[in-house]
Amino acid sequence: MDSKRPLLLQSPRTPNDQYIPTIPVFPELPKSKSSSSNTVTFSGVEFGQVENKNSSNSSSSSKSSMSIHSMGSSKRNNSVREMSSLNHSGSKSTVRYGSKGGGDSEGLTMSQRELRDEDARLVYINDPEKTNENFEFFGNSIRTAKYSILTFIPRNLFEQFHRVAYIYFLIIAILNQLPQLAVFGRYVSILPLAFVLFVTGVKDAFEDWRRHNSDKVENNRLATILMNDGSFIEKKWKDIRVGEIVKIKTNETIPCDIVLLSTSDPTGVAYVQTINLDGESNLKTRYAKQETGSKVQPRYTGLIKCEKPNRNIYGFMANMEIDGKKLSLGSTNIVLRGCELKNTSWALGVAVYCGRETKAMLNNSGAPSKRSRLETRMNYEIIMLSFFLVALCTITSVCAAVWLKRHKDELNLLPYYRKLDFSKPVVEDYKYYGWGLEIFFTFLMSVIVYQVMIPIALYISMELVRVGQAYFMIEDDRLYDEATNSKFQCRALNINEDLGQIKYVFSDKTGTLTENKMEFQCASIRGVDYSSTNTSTENELGEYSVQVDGKILKPKMKVKVNPELLQLARNGVENVEGKRIYDFFLALATCNTIVPIVVDTPDPDVKLLDYQGESPDEQALAYAAAAYGFMLIERTSGHIVIDIHGQRLKFNVLGLHEFDSDRKRMSVILGYPDSSVKLFVKGADTAMFSVMDKSHNMDVIKATETHLHSYSSLGLRTLVIGMKELSTSEFEQWHTAYEAASTAVFGRAALLKKISNHVENNVFILGASAIEDKLQQGVPEAIESLRAAGIKVWVLTGDKQETAISIGFSSKLLTRNMTQIIINSNSKVSCRKSLKDALERSRKLDAVATQIALIIDGGSLVHILDSEHEEELFQLASLCSVVLCCRVAPLQKAGIVSLVKKRTSDMTLAIGDGINSSLDLLQLVNSLQFIFY
């Protein structure tokens, strides 16, 4: 990473996937006339009094946090009370899997809670003493170890005795210590159980010792702290307190959750890598407020009012009071513990959450005690056997009672039960305890005699088998990953056998079945299809370059270009067709959140542009635009510079609404050099066609829909591109409303969403793009093996139906001899009818042993999940060999998995969309084959 340096800076973004721009002043555009008014109305939405209208870099509030993990000690009751009071409602909310997204009420509730003093944490910048005066916040020391010296023995024994068999063997050993019941040697009976407990305890102690060492290393790392006199001192991580200002240097890890104050970049941008939090290696951008970024370092004073510690790593709600101004803070202004600073020389931030209160630690539930389904089943079986043993011993004791009663007069003459001993001069009593106690002791002795019914050797054998399984899986060459030079890792020996019991595999497509390496393939521009089939010559690799400061600058990735389209793009805007192509590729180059990074090459005169972004789709489109001569070379907090066939143009970034799963589109508002303002939008076809201006675009829309269907049938990912020119009044209306919403007292998130929906309306269609995401090597064979083993494979993807079906055939999920049942209804009534018809048809096909493939889209699932039709969907899916869900949101994916888990005892495996799995599909199959065969 040292060879890279940031060439351009991304404009500030706000939480909840929104964007707050730095609004440049246009002489031609009059200032808002509504700034003196107390109320602003925009598209029927009325805003309350606007606080801080002069702050153009305000951030919106984020979504609701997840449930709070309250922790603490008796010495810190105030801090514990602060954390536990976050969820003041005290009730658990019901997850609606069928819904498409959060409602307006969420934004209202969160904004209300943000401003309530009793629900806020007060952090005095660079004043840890005052910050901790009323509340003794947690220090920055962390602990991931499970045991301590004092708690190891009791806690480890408690966990081990979750195995019912161990309790059983302990009872047997205790009974054998009684002289009246000793069937075997007293101490010999303890040895097997003691040996098993000792070996398991040593293993657990070793694992926890490694955690302690890791915690010690982490807590003793050094961080740089800013003092009041402007000097810096080094402190151990564990000694950092809330309110202190921390300085982070490039490639260093963030020691606690910090709100950025300034960075080495004059615009306040910082690049971070969050791979330790969410597994994503792409760089993300975080921002310091301009009001704090321009201050002299030792003079940082102010107050941050933020939400209580919570587990939501994607949201942060706060505001900052500094120099008499009140600034909104969001998720783009906070950097979480565990992130790494990249391509930024340094960054300063104030600690707001430390130690166990950081979002990373609140999401760390500690080292779990995992138990396989086999072990759970064995506990059940042992309980059943114990009841049988009790019944058997009861029968034995009853029979003994009958025998004693019948022979009570002969007991002096019989061995074992003789009452008197006449072998000595003095007659002595034998150890005969009477009829009642003899029956009781008979029962206990029977327990000891019949104990072999549950052998302890079974557990020893199981542990040895698990160790053997882990060894063979780790050493299996087929599970070796050459790319990372790493072997298969078996982190929990207790659940190996669960791999062999999986009945359902739920997998997303992108990144799991596919490589997640997007390649631009073709485009449809204003109803004209520019794909490789329309030209006689083969596509060639585009290699566009520009000169910057005497250096040749090239895109890092080459893209296949259509020669005809490339020539038309080079011709400029001399005709109508050229103007349409110009706008299309300008939209690809600007409507994104790409961060270009300059990478050195062996040739000192040649530099490469590496487009970094959170979405590989955006990267592919930016590289495609560069290949056709629209090269993004610079971005700051207020403008973008695009080199268009040698002509460098600067566009002011007036606003950007990022992609979210609700709107399924994103947009950017650009100010042109001639002072005109245009809106570029891109998104999914369903979301885009609903906002298109259909008054005079119907022919183009129909042609584009035909091309989209053709691209999707080839398994390509598609996006629709649109544009809209904003008048001065429209822009001023949006600007004023956006500024008001970003500082609104109530319902901030909901208002921002309504503003973006309003401006992204009556859009002029430019065209569509098609991107290929190739299958990973071995995926078709893997799915074929899974299905041959009797495992049902469900693929859940956000792609459109045609793309999903095409990928289904190429991955061998679907076959030609399968009967496809497709449900893609738009209303509740039609969905109910389609589901009923599909269920009747599938029962008939199942009766004649026909393989069935169910294909259902997210729109239908909206009407099915969380309704009375869930059971019918499960019955239908149970009759199908394959289920393919398309156009589904992440929450719907969770709902589908929950649908199956609630209605069957079969074991399920979910991969992707938040399920951090070290197995790719091919590794999974090899593991399953090992267990099965």
The chain-wide mean pLDDT, for the chain, equals 78
- Least confident piece of the model among 35-39, 426-430, 767-771, 781-785: 35-39
pLDDT at 706 over 80: yes
d(CA 822, CA 710): 19
Enumerate residues 6+ apart whose C-beta is below 8 A from 8.
Answer: 595, 596, 632, 633, 634, 635, 636, 640, 641
Read off the pLDDT of residues 353-379 as tens digits, 9 standing for 90 and up.
999 999 988 887 666 667 788 878 887
Give the residues across from 682 on adjacent strands: 666, 721
Q: How far apart are CA 168 and CA 458, in angstroms?
A: 13
% of residues, the chain, pLDDT over 70 = 77
pLDDT at residue 58, rounded to an integer: 35
Average pLDDT on 453-480 reads: 81
What secondary structure does DSSP assign to 861-923, as a single string? HHHHTTSTTHHHHHHHHHT-SEEEEES--HHHHHHHHHHHHTT--SEEEEEBTTB--S--HHH
**Do residues 76 and 356 touch, judged by C-beta distance below 8 A?**
no
Annotated binding site for Mg(2+): 508, 510, 913
Task: Tell me the C-alpha distance between 263 and 12, whole Å.
Answer: 13
Tokens representing residue 86 in the block: 């976050």
Please tell me the least confidently modeled range out of 336-345, 714-723, 862-871. Answer: 862-871
Q: Which residues are part of the catalytic machinery?
A: 508
Averaged over 698-725, what is the pLDDT? Answer: 91
| Range of 14-23, 38-47, 752-761 with top mean pLDDT | 752-761
Q: How confident is the model at residue 427 (pLDDT cuts 50, 70, 90)?
A: low
Query: Would the pLDDT of 704 be above 90?
Result: yes
Whole-angstrom Cα distance, residue 107 to residue 751? Answer: 8
Partnered with residue 792 across adjacent β-strands are: 504
| Residue 113 token pair | 């809670």
pTM (predicted TM-score): 0.68
Measured CA to CA, the distance from residue 736 to residue 357 in angstroms comes to 37
Q: What percent of the chain has pLDDT over 90?
A: 22
pLDDT grade, residue 347 (50/70/90)? very high
Pairing of strands 269-273, 283-287: antiparallel
Q: Taking phi first (over 0 means left), then psi (-120 to 50 degrees means alpha), and beta for anything else, what does residue 185 get?
A: beta
Do residues 912 and 507 make contact, with C-beta atoms less than 8 angstroms apart? yes
User: How far, in Å, CA of 173 to CA of 72, rounded?
Assistant: 40
**What confidence category does residue 52 fall into, taking pLDDT thresholds of 50, 70 and 90?**
very low
Residue 496 pLDDT: 80
Query: Average pLDDT of 439-444?
Result: 85
User: In this predicted structure, what is the pLDDT of residue 432?
Assistant: 65
Tokens for 227? Answer: 């003092």
In the prediction, which pLDDT does 773 show? 85
The yes-or-no verdict on residue 743 having pLDDT over 70 is no
167: number of Cβ within 10 Å: 14
Q: What is the pLDDT of residues 845-901, one digit of tens each?
A: 988 888 899 999 888 888 888 678 889 999 999 999 899 998 888 778 888 888 898
Distances in Å between the alpha carbon of 554 and those of 103, 283, 540, 630, 766?
44, 20, 17, 12, 27
Cα angle 485, 487, 492; round to 5:
145
pLDDT > 60? residue 62: no
pLDDT digits (tens, 9 = 90+) for 140-150: 998 888 888 89
pLDDT of residue 614: 72
The distance of Cα 322 from the centroid of its chain, to the nearest Å, equals 34
Q: Crossing angle for the helix pair 373-406 and 435-449, nearest 10 degrees? A: 140
- Bridging pattern class, strands 595-600 and 4-6: antiparallel
Tens-digit pLDDT profile for residues 489-502 = 776 677 788 888 88
Residues 815-846 pLDDT 10s: 888 999 999 887 888 888 999 999 999 999 98
Q: Pick 791 or 365 by higher pLDDT.
A: 791
Note the pLDDT of residue 310. Answer: 87
Rounded Cα–Cα distance for residues 731 and 735 (Å)? 6
What confidence category does residue 56 fall into, taking pLDDT thresholds of 50, 70 and 90? very low
pLDDT at 18: 32
* Residue predicted with more confidence, 593 or 396: 396
Between 630 and 45, the more confident residue is 630
**Among 205-209, 294-298, 310-314, whose mean pLDDT is lowest?**
294-298
720: alpha, beta or left? (left if phi > 0; alpha if psi -120 to 50): beta
Geometric angle at alpha carbon 674, from 668 and 680, rounded to 5°? 20
The predicted model gives 558-566 an average pLDDT of 89
Amino acid at 468: G
pLDDT bin (cut points 50, 70, 90) of residue 420 is low
**Is the pLDDT reported for residue 684 higher than 60?**
yes
Q: Which residues are annotated as a binding site for ATP?
A: 508-510, 618, 659, 682, 717, 797-799, 887, 893, 916
94 confidence band (pLDDT: 50, 70, 90)? very low
Contacts of 915 (CB under 8 A, 6+ apart): none
- Residue 750's pLDDT is 78
* pLDDT at residue 221 in the model: 93
Task: Tell me the HSE value of 200 on the side-chain side, using a 13 A CA sphere.
Answer: 24
Q: What confidence score (pLDDT) does residue 524 get?
A: 94
Residue 230 DSSP symbol: S
Which pLDDT does position 328 carry in this prediction?
81
The string of pLDDT tens digits covering residues 633-652 is 987 767 899 999 888 999 99
Of the candidates 459, 462, 447, the residue with the CA atom closest to the CA atom of residue 192: 459
Contact 715, 74 (CB under 8 A): no
DSSP code at position 5: E
**Domains of the chain listed by start with CATH number:** 144-223 (no CATH), 240-357 (2.70.150.10), 514-773 (3.40.1110.10), 777-930 (3.40.50)
Of residues 482 and 795, more confidently modeled: 795
Sequence ranges of the binding site: 508-510, 618, 659, 682, 717, 797-799, 887, 893, 913, 916
What is the pLDDT at residue 60?
32
Residue 740: its pLDDT value, please? 81
Q: What is the DSSP letter of 513?
A: T
228 pLDDT above the threshold of 70: yes
